[in-house]
């Protein structure tokens, strides 16, 4: 945990570091929410509820999201937890559906997921985390964007708090219906997880995907969701963040134009902005970031996972 947090502090480029809440923090927050709910009213649940299922075998790699689909009549009042972290889920067509995620810094060790309803607890998944290697790249940008002045550092710190707050609350239900799609169809110029050496000195990890995009090229919302940030940030320039519900967020950085306002709900595929080269950027491109349950993952893995949702 401490390792993740320290790595987070080192991560200056993407917003992702601000998003990695500790498992402890999340479970404390969830517990408080749960208490509130329990004090309100007890859910009406069939006392005879009993489900006998074989746990799903799932494999996942650091930096990926994957789908957990468990057949059976579950109740939304129950809770799903992997390790000690509560995972949001939804019910569709007699299935429990959830997105599991691991980030660049995840430990390679297996774990289980349990569904709990009242006194009953069943194991729904056995998850194996497989190793993955990431490439390195060297990047040269304006010195002032690598070694920050006091004023810029203050701005970055302030922006980190704004991002952290925006990512802190996502409804437990999805805003989306269908699978996720790419925000732009173009050549990938930098993949998720590249180790980056800025101006031969500063090292970070790239926790998003960069797509080649000329200034002005339209950028689409990867799925239906609510705009939680539409602002100009020091590192990612003109940036839009969409909350898709269920703990899933997508980020669009370095835009030349933002075409949506905070608070707006946009349909899947809506044009939300235009590509550009604002913020710490080496040239016009789209930086696309994806966060699932507080962890930055590779966008392609979310797209692929979402194709498996029951229709
Ligand atoms: Zn990027």
pLDDT per residue, tens digit, the chain (311 aa), is: 333 333 333 333 343 333 333 444 444 555 555 555 444 454 555 556 677 788 999 999 999 999 999 999 999 999 999 988 999 999 999 999 999 999 999 989 999 999 999 989 999 999 999 999 888 888 777 888 778 899 999 999 999 999 999 998 899 999 999 999 999 999 999 999 988 887 777 678 899 999 999 999 999 999 999 999 999 999 999 999 999 999 999 999 999 999 999 999 999 999 999 999 999 888 999 999 999 999 999 999 999 999 999 98
Q: How far is the CA of 311 from the centre of ligand 1 (A)?
A: 32
- The answer to whether position 283 is within a domain reads yes
Q: Is residue 258 part of a domain?
A: yes
Residues in the chain: 311
Residue 78 lies inside a defined structural domain of this protein = no
Q: How many domains does the chain have?
A: 1
* pLDDT (0 to 100) of residue 195: 85
Q: How far is the CA of 280 from the centre of ligand 1 (A)?
A: 9
Distance of CA 217 to the CA centre of its chain: 24
Residue 82 forms part of a structural domain: no
Q: What is the CATH number of the domain that holds 294?
A: 2.70.70.10
Return the pLDDT at 26.
43
Distance (angstroms) between ligand 1 centre and the Cα of 33 equals 34
Residue 113 C-alpha to ligand 1 middle, in angstroms? Answer: 32
Tell me, in angstroms, the distance from the centre of ligand 1 to residue 70's CA: 34
In a domain, 302, yes or no: yes
For residue 282, the model assigns a pLDDT of 87
Specify whether the CB–CB gap between 219 and 198 falls below 8 A.
no
Q: How far is the CA of 185 from the centre of ligand 1 (A)?
A: 16
Beta bridge partners of 59: 128
CA-atom Rg of the chain in angstroms: 20
Distance 242 CA to ligand 1 centre (A): 17
User: pLDDT for 54-73, tens place per residue?
Assistant: 899 999 999 999 999 999 99
Residue 198 lies in a domain: yes
- Distance (Å) from CA 224 to ligand 1 centroid: 22
Distance 142 CA to ligand 1 centre (A): 16
pTM (2 d.p.): 0.83
CA of 53 to the centre of ligand 1 (A): 42
Query: For residue range 16-56, what is the model confidence (pLDDT) as tens digits?
Result: 333 333 444 444 555 555 555 444 454 555 556 677 788 99
Containing structural domain, residue 218? 2-20+133-306
Cα distances (Å, whole numbers) of residue 272 to 144, 267, 275: 29, 10, 10
Instruction: Quote the CA–CA distance of 41 and 132 in Å, as a whole number.
Output: 45
Domain annotation covers residue 242: yes
214 Cα–ligand 1 center, Å: 15
pLDDT at 146: 79
Which residues are within 5 Å of ligand 1 (an ion), measured at CB?
208, 210, 287
Confirm whether 249 is domain-assigned: yes
């Amino acid at each position: 945990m401490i390792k993740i947090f320290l790595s987070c502090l080192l991560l200056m480029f993407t917003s992702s570091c601000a998003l990695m809440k500790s498992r402890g923090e999340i479970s404390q927050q969830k517990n408080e929410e749960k208490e509130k709910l329990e004090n309100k009213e007890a859910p009406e649940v069939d006392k005879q509820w009993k489900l006998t299922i074989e746990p799903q075998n799932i494999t996942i790699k650091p930096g990926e999201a994957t789908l957990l689909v468990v057949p059976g009549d579950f109740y939304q009042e129950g809770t799903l937890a992997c390790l000690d972290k509560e995972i949001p889920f939804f019910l569709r067509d007699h299935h429990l559906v959830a997105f599991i995620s691991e980030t660049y810094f995840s430990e390679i060790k297996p774990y289980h997921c349990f569904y709990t309803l009242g006194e009953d607890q069943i194991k729904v998944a056995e998850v194996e985390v497989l190793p993955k290697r990431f490439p390195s790249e060297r990047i040269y940008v304006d010195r002032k964007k690598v070694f920050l002045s006091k004023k810029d550092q203050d701005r970055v710190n302030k922006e980190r708090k704004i991002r952290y707050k925006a990512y802190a609350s996502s409804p437990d239900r999805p805003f989306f219906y269908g699978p996720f799609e790419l925000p732009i169809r173009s050549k990938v110029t930098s993949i998720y997880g590249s180790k980056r050496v800025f101006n031969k000195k500063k090292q970070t990890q790239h926790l998003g995907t960069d797509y080649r995009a000329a200034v002005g090229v339209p950028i689409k919302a990867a799925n239906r969701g609510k705009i939680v940030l539409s602002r100009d940030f020091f590192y990612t320039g003109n940036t839009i963040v969409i909350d898709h519900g269920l703990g899933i967020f997508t980020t669009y950085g370095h835009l030349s134009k933002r075409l949506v306002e905070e608070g707006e709900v946009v349909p899947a595929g809506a044009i939300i902005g235009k590509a550009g080269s604002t913020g710490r950027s080496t040239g016009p491109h789209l930086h696309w970031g994806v966060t699932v349950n507080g962890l930055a993952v590779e966008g392609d893995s979310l797209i692929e996972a979402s194709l498996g949702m029951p229709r």
